[in-house]
Structure 1
Amino acid sequence: MTIRHTVVFTLVHPAGSPEEAAFLDTATETLSAIGPVRDFTVSRQVSAKSDLQWQFAMVFADEADYAAYNDDPAHVAFVANRWVPEVDAFQEYDFTPR
């Protein structure tokens, strides 16, 4: 059963800053290159109903692929070196089809 992994977040960087762009570019390059990741997207939040500004979304074929992504050294390094110091707040959501 497929899993759509999403994370909605706000960065510590000002909107439109070079630092924001660098974070998003690095995330796209790094995370989309991890083997089991499919349909990686970056989206900007446009609703006034949420303080969170960005979303990453990706699809995994099954739980084994999702676990492989979480344990992949590139993902672990991205989280430690970029996500933890640069993300101010986030919510994570994982969905499977009905």
Structure 2
Amino acid sequence: MIQHTVCFALVHTADSEAERDFLSAAAEVLPSVPGVSAFRIARQIGTQSEYRWQFSMDFSDEAAYAAYDAHPDHRAFVGTRWIPEVAAFQEFDFVPFGGER
């Protein structure tokens, strides 16, 4: 199992219609890509990071993750929404401790 996580800041004003639209679009598109499970959107409540948002999703294995990355719906979201609307981000990919990759 691979947990793919990305923490990010948007170019939009907090609590704006544009911010809500971006998050709604992500919630519609990303979990519908085959291989994605346990898709979550979370909001940062601490003050230690500039990243206000997090997407997290699970994949059964590297093949499922690679298929997601190459999927046309994911690529379209990245090109039309992510690149123009995300100001900064940090990506993390985790496997359970003791788990095989």
Ranges in structure 1 where 5+ consecutive residues have no aligned partner: none
2:29 aligned with 1:30, yes or no?
Answer: yes
* AA matched with 2:38: D
Match of 1:47 in 2: 46
RMSD, aligned α-carbons: 0.3
Ranges in structure 2 where 5+ consecutive residues have no aligned partner: none
Q: How many positions carry a matched residue from both structures?
A: 97
* AA matched with 2:51: L
How big is each residue's C-alpha offset from its partner over 1:16-56, in whole Å with a ceiling of 9 and x where there is no partner?
10000000000010001001000000000011110100000
What's the TM-score once normalised by structure 2's chain length? Answer: 0.95
| TM superposition outliers: structure 1 runs of 4+ over 3 Å | none
Match of 1:93 in 2: 92
Shift of 1:89: 0.3
How big is each residue's C-alpha offset from its partner over 1:39-84, in whole Å with a ceiling of 9 and x where there is no partner?
0000000111101000000000000000000000000000000000
Shift of 1:11: 0.3
Match of 1:17 in 2: 16
* AA matched with 2:61: D
What's the TM-score once normalised by structure 1's chain length? Answer: 0.98
Identity level (%): 52
